[in-house]
């Protein structure tokens, strides 16, 4: 079962990152091509206090729909791979059922898939948002969209620097996958923590600016500065 890490928790919002590992047997050289791919968040609409089965079924439906409309083949393939990953789905469904409507008004989970060959490394970032139906949906979606913006921004800003650093350090295969994911997880943790400090859930529209400030801080410090 792939590990699920919680990286932010305040008040009524929780976010998590899921490490997905694909095609780990590769040894890239210094001229490796690096692809960093992201997409719109997958939004799952749920009643408060859903059962695990309800979360599971709704998540599968949302992922399948997202895969059908996704224009980037590698991202569509990863969405389909998540649908086939029963351990992942069961884990996220359990965590969502335990939290949504109890001590969380909405949730977001970030998956990072790393795969490649000797010539190319691909990192795919996907955010799955668990959103409540009803009158709180607007503010909940705005907050979780901020998390998705941060997840995508880190993949886009930092993948190249992280991969080049780790390849230059001699890592390959599973060791390279773990090192990339460790970097991304750490950067996400820093950015989401700042986002939660900065954002005000009582002011609709403040979330995009807070997410942008969190990413600006990562860019100013540098993707390898930690």
The alpha carbon torsion through 56, 61, 67, 70 (nearest 10 deg) reads -120
Separation CA 103–CA 95 (nearest Å): 12
> pLDDT higher for 164 or 103?
164
pLDDT digits (tens, 9 = 90+) for 69-127: 999 999 999 999 999 999 999 999 999 999 988 888 889 999 999 988 778 899 999 99
SS3 185: helix
Cα-based distances in Å from 51 to 3, 48, 93, 192, 193: 22, 9, 8, 27, 29
User: Of 7 and 15, which is predicted with more confidence?
Assistant: 15
pTM: predicted TM-score of the whole model, two decimal places? 0.87
Mean pLDDT (the chain, rounded): 85
Is the residue at 226 inside a domain?
A: no
**Residue span of the structural domain in which 148 resides:** 4-221
Give how many domains the chain has, as a whole number.
Answer: 1
How far apart CA 32 and CA 73 sit, in angstroms, is 20
User: Is 22:115 a contact under the CB 8 Å cutoff?
Assistant: yes
């Amino acid at each position: 079962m792939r590990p699920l890490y919680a990286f932010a928790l305040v008040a009524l919002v929780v976010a998590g990152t899921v490490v997905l590992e694909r095609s780990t047997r590769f040894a890239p050289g210094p001229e490796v091509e690096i692809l960093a791919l992201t997409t719109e968040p997958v939004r799952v609409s749920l009643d408060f206090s859903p059962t695990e089965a309800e979360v599971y079924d709704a998540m599968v439906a949302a992922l399948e729909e997202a895969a059908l409309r996704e224009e980037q083949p590698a991202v569509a393939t990863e969405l389909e791979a998540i649908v086939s990953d029963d351990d992942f789905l069961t884990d996220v469904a359990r965590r969502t059922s335990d939290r949504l409507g109890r001590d969380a008004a909405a949730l977001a989970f970030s998956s990072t898939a790393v795969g490649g060959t000797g010539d190319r490394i691909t990192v795919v970032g996907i955010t799955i948002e668990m959103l409540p139906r009803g009158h709180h949906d607007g503010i909940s979606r705005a907050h979780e969209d901020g998390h998705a913006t941060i997840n995508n921004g880190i993949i886009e800003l930092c993948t190249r620097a992280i991969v080049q650093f780790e390849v230059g350090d001699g890592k390959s295969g599973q060791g390279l996958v773990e090192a990339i994911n460790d970097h991304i997880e750490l950067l996400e943790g820093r950015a989401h923590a700042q986002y939660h400090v900065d954002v005000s859930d009582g002011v609709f529209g403040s979330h995009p600016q807070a997410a942008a400030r969190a990413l600006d801080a990562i860019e100013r410090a540098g993707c390898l500065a930690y």
